Amino acid sequence: MAKVFLIGAGPGDPELMTLKAARALRAADVVLVDELVHRGCLAHARPGARIIEVGKRGGSQSTPQVFIEKMMLKIVDAGQTVARLKGGDPFVFGRGGEEMQALLEAGVEVEVIPGITAGIGVPAALGIPVTHREIACGVTFVTGRTRDGREPNWEALARSGTTLVVYMGLRRLEQIASRLGKAGLPEATPACAIENGTLRTQREIVSTLAGLPAAAARARLASPAIIVVGEVVRFARASALEPKARAA
Ligand code: SAH
């Protein structure tokens, strides 16, 4: 029976995709791919497989979620296997949960294939160990772009003793840094922003909580970018960057 593979493509460099993801891609008749996914990942698709690009990043008009879900149901109904390829891990700020729910409710078989999320893989490419035992007692992932304006509990985050990783936070970087500062996180806390992590086009700004917004603005850092705040950022080093994949 036809099914849907819900696949994480990893943080950027196509070599960071899993073997299992590559196998699922080979099995698919139709590949639905998000914009953030490196086109090199599609090299594993079967020749002749239909590739459909869905979703646009960074606030531009994206393919409506409902439309994507309907499209997958239609393809599976026609007896074809779908590979739904999403950036990073499908369940980390990726709406993979919503897609899985819609498919399961329609009685479609779903196999989830996890991927390396940007929040771990991108700092790692700089040599940042997000949960270094002596420095951080954990890591917290938050999004800077909250639905219906809800904010994370910045006070709790500032007190948590965990490394903070912010997805989709670049546009609100100044606000995020000031909220964290007011919440009690020292302004000198190391902080960095990494654009196009693990790719040849990677750029990073290493600074402090107080200095990062202006530094990122000066460098005209752009999306996709991830923000890391915490003492572990001291490990950041450019020498950890090679080898990088060619940008799409
Ligand atoms: N499911 C994805 C996240 C999707 S949300 C994952 O698990 O990684 C998109 C956000 O992820 C971007 O706004 C950015 O904050 C982050 N991101 C994804 N790829 C990135 C990359 N190569 N470099 C830096 N940040 C990235």
DSSP, collapsed to helix, strand or coil, labels residue 54 as strand
What average pLDDT does this structure show over 77-92? Answer: 97
Listing from the earlier edge strand, what are the strands of the sheet with 163-167? 139-143, 163-167, 225-229, 190-195, 203-208
Looking from the CA of residue 167, the nearest atom of ligand 1 is: 15
Residues with CB under 6 A from ligand 1: 11-12, 36, 86-89, 92-94, 117-118, 122, 167-168, 194, 196-198, 223-226
The answer to whether the beta carbons of residues 16 and 10 sit under 8 Å apart is yes
Would you state the pLDDT for residue 34?
94
Model confidence pLDDT, tens digit, residues 41-77: 999 999 999 999 997 654 556 678 888 999 999 999 9
DSSP, collapsed to helix, strand or coil, labels residue 173 as helix
Would you state the pLDDT for residue 148?
78
Would you state the pLDDT for residue 1?
75
Indicate if the pLDDT at residue 22 is higher than 50: yes
Dig out the tokens for 157 from the structure: 């985050």
Q: Which domains does the chain have, with CATH numbers?
A: 4-113 (3.40.1010.10), 118-245 (3.30.950.10)
**Integer angstrom CA distances of residue 169 from 19, 22, 68:** 31, 30, 25
Q: Are strands 225-229 and 163-167 parallel, antiparallel or unpaired?
A: antiparallel
Model confidence pLDDT, tens digit, residues 121-172: 999 999 999 999 989 999 999 998 777 778 899 999 999 999 999 999 999 9
With the most atoms of ligand 1 within 8 angstroms of its CB, the residue from 168, 223, 241 to mutate is 168
